[in-house]
Structure 1
Amino acid sequence: MPLVTQWTGREVKALREAARMSLMDLAEKLGVSDRIISKWERGGPESIPRMVNQAALDTLLAEASPDVHGRFVGLLSVNDPVPRQLIDPAETPVMSGQYVKHQRDGKLMARVPEGIYLAGETDEPVWVDEFHIDTFPTTNADYARFCTAVGHRTPRHWEGGRCPRRLYDHPVVEVSWKDASAYAEWAGKSLPTAEQWEKAARGTTGTIYPWGDQRTAAKCNVRETGVEGTTPVSRYHSGVSPYGIYDMIGNVWEWCSTPTQPGRYELKGSAFTSPLFRGVPSAFNDADDFMQDDDTGFRCVASPEQMTPQDS
């Protein structure tokens, strides 16, 4: 099922059209006036419904049929700056469906079972223990909660220490490895090892990209897509990994816990600034732990023990 981290007028319109509803029909389902629906749709990405309406939209999408899900993804795709093909529900990537919310930071996480996967450019068999990984990269909204909770410094591009509302559901950037590690510790999680990240991105069978072997830049936010900036973390529904994980190629580079030499750590996934080939999950990149770029963020993982609520 498609996931939406933050509903805007763009997603509302796509859902209404995918469900073949009129403004009045959707208004009745949500318990609001048709004028409110019309206002959201006119506002597009800048129009953000209240949280109670966000929850109602989540429920409506969850209860929709697979046909509606397919049309919803397709309508969002054709509204992208670079058009993409409509998604046939039969061609939608198979997801594990095992999403759970982490008890500390409340983020959705996907389960990656223990077992062997084919790793690296030579597809060497590597065993990885079971873990959960954040379905989406850490967003600005996630990071703002962390900074408020512990008094951590905010990214330097946030004016007055506050993130612009329109970027709440974009991945946080300009965070160093140390910043990312501090968030992971606060959340009761860890940064992923390079092997965990790669398995979560490409699955077990050695496919080149999260979605398969097709070289399709339109399934992610990379240089060829032409966006030239970060995008909402739930935007690229057709580019998810076999475990249902978003943005494993493009949008932002992601810090890993794997050191390459003292003070340097691996990065995975590429960014909006990168060509598609740099995002291949088996590819290598690293950086100094103090590096803070506008195309670098992170997501976290949790072991089975870290997923278990701790007694207070």
Structure 2
Amino acid sequence: MPLVTKWTGREVKALREAARMSLMEFAEKLGVSDRIVSRWEADGEKSAIRMVNQAALDTLLAKAERDAQGRFVGILAADDVPMHPVIEPGEAETSSGEYVKHPGDGKLMAHVPEGIFLAGAEDDPVWVDEFYIDTFPTTNADYARFCAATRRQPPERWENGRCPRELYDHPVVHVTWRDATAYAEWAGKSLPTAEQWEKAARGTTGRTFPWGNQKTAAKCNVRETGVERTTSVSRYHSGVSPYGVYDMVGNVWEWLATPTTPGRYELRGSAFTSPLFRGFPAVPNDASDMMHDDDTGFRCTATRQQIQSRNR
């Protein structure tokens, strides 16, 4: 469950919108007037919320459905209000769980230090240079901004070219490898190599899954979970990788930069349509660069140099 250290009007508004409540409904749940909620939201981060109301907000968030909790995190992330410490490129070397905000598309990126990790089914030692990787897969909201900026054709399943609002924080699907590459170039990023993606998912010690070696389907959106559709990219908090990266198993397959044969590229991570054993981060899949499906999306990586060049 997401935690809030101190509630302000910004978090209040995010929770109300995530819960799909009107001001009146939300105020009734909290036991306050709708005018108070409206004032909190209007004051934003400057609002002063009493401790008794802070506690009531904690309870309301804890009792919210998982999808609503996921939307809450997604709304805050979309509004550039990260729920984790943020570092800036150029600072001292960082440990796992630390993030930067990319200046191109504004997404949170996790820092992965340089070094050796155990790769593949045989846990072979492989060196990977330092890089940053998107904390969450590219969402429909992210891709909509890209389409608006570049006039690229939106995914075919969007009705009248618009993504339904309730899917804004779900991963974008029905994108080809070429679509994913175009987004990465627009944002000043790259698609991950197979080695980058696997290290971000498994860490350095050869763990089977991002969360460890236990075959626990409840930590991700796979066939055994029974959801049978995409979910919010921030839903599975207990399934994050050692670097704090979400959805490295399940939800959607992710395009990589690594080719297998001419015109075909690696995919990793499995999807809501896949059994858990297909989600081993060490095991690759591949597809034609023109393939698109309802269970295939992507995320991006960036070097320190790429981030710094966009900051200039």
The TM-score normalised by the length of structure 2 is 0.75
2:88 corresponds to: none
Q: Deviations over 1:227-278 (max 9, x none)?
A: 0000000000000000000000000000000000000000010000000000
Query: Is the Cα contact below 8 Å between 1:268 and 1:283 reproduced in 2?
Result: yes
Alignment CA distance shift 1:74-1:261 (3 Å)? farther
Query: Is the Cα contact below 8 Å between 1:272 and 1:295 reproduced in 2?
Result: yes
Please give the residue correspondences for 1:1-312 in structure 2 after superposition, counting only pairs within 5 Å. 2=2, 7-9=14-16, 23-24=30-31, 32=37, 96-310=96-310
Question: Take 1:3 and 1:181, find their aligned partners in 2: how far apart are those partners?
Answer: 34
Query: Is the Cα contact below 8 Å between 1:198 and 1:281 reproduced in 2?
Result: yes
Query: Is the Cα contact below 8 Å between 1:115 and 1:127 reproduced in 2?
Result: yes
Compute the displacement of 1:307 (Å): 1.4
Query: Is the Cα contact below 8 Å between 1:73 and 1:237 reproduced in 2?
Result: no
1:85 corresponds to: none
What letter corresponds to residue 220 of structure 2 in structure 1? C
Alignment CA distance shift 1:295-1:3 (3 Å)? farther
Alignment CA distance shift 1:233-1:124 (3 Å)? same
- Unaligned regions of 5+ residues in structure 1, if any? 14-21, 37-49, 58-63, 81-94
Question: Take 1:153 and 1:117, find their aligned partners in 2: how far apart are those partners?
Answer: 39
Q: Deviations over 1:109-164 (max 9, x none)?
A: 00000000000010000000000000000000000000000111100000111101
Compute the displacement of 1:310 (Å): 3.9
Compute the displacement of 1:193 (Å): 0.3
Query: Is the Cα contact below 8 Å between 1:7 and 1:54 reproduced in 2?
Result: no
Question: Take 2:62 and 2:290, find their aligned partners in 1: how far apart are those partners?
Answer: 38
The alignment of Structure 1 onto Structure 2 pairs a total of residues equal to: 266
Query: Is the Cα contact below 8 Å between 2:201 and 2:209 reproduced in 1?
Result: yes
Compute the displacement of 1:53 (Å): 9.0
Compute the displacement of 1:55 (Å): 7.2
Question: Take 1:138 and 1:256, find their aligned partners in 2: how far apart are those partners?
Answer: 13
Compute the displacement of 1:97 (Å): 2.9
Alignment CA distance shift 1:76-1:160 (3 Å)? closer
Q: Deviations over 1:166-211 (max 9, x none)?
A: 1000000000000000000000000000110000001000000000
The TM-score normalised by the length of structure 1 is 0.75
What letter corresponds to residue 23 of structure 1 in structure 2? L
Question: Take 2:33 and 2:103, find their aligned partners in 1: how far apart are those partners?
Answer: 33
- Unaligned regions of 5+ residues in structure 2, if any? 5-10, 21-28, 48-53, 70-94
Question: Take 2:278 and 2:33, find their aligned partners in 1: how far apart are those partners?
Answer: 42
RMSD: 3.6
Compute the displacement of 1:293 (Å): 0.5
Q: Deviations over 1:212-237 (max 9, x none)?
A: 00110000000000000000000000
Question: Take 1:3 and 1:288, find their aligned partners in 2: how far apart are those partners?
Answer: 41
SS in 1 for 2:146: helix
Question: Take 1:115 and 1:27, find their aligned partners in 2: how far apart are those partners?
Answer: 53
Question: Take 1:74 and 1:250, find their aligned partners in 2: how far apart are those partners?
Answer: 25
What letter corresponds to residue 236 of structure 2 in structure 1? Y
Query: Is the Cα contact below 8 Å between 2:188 and 2:310 reproduced in 1?
Result: no
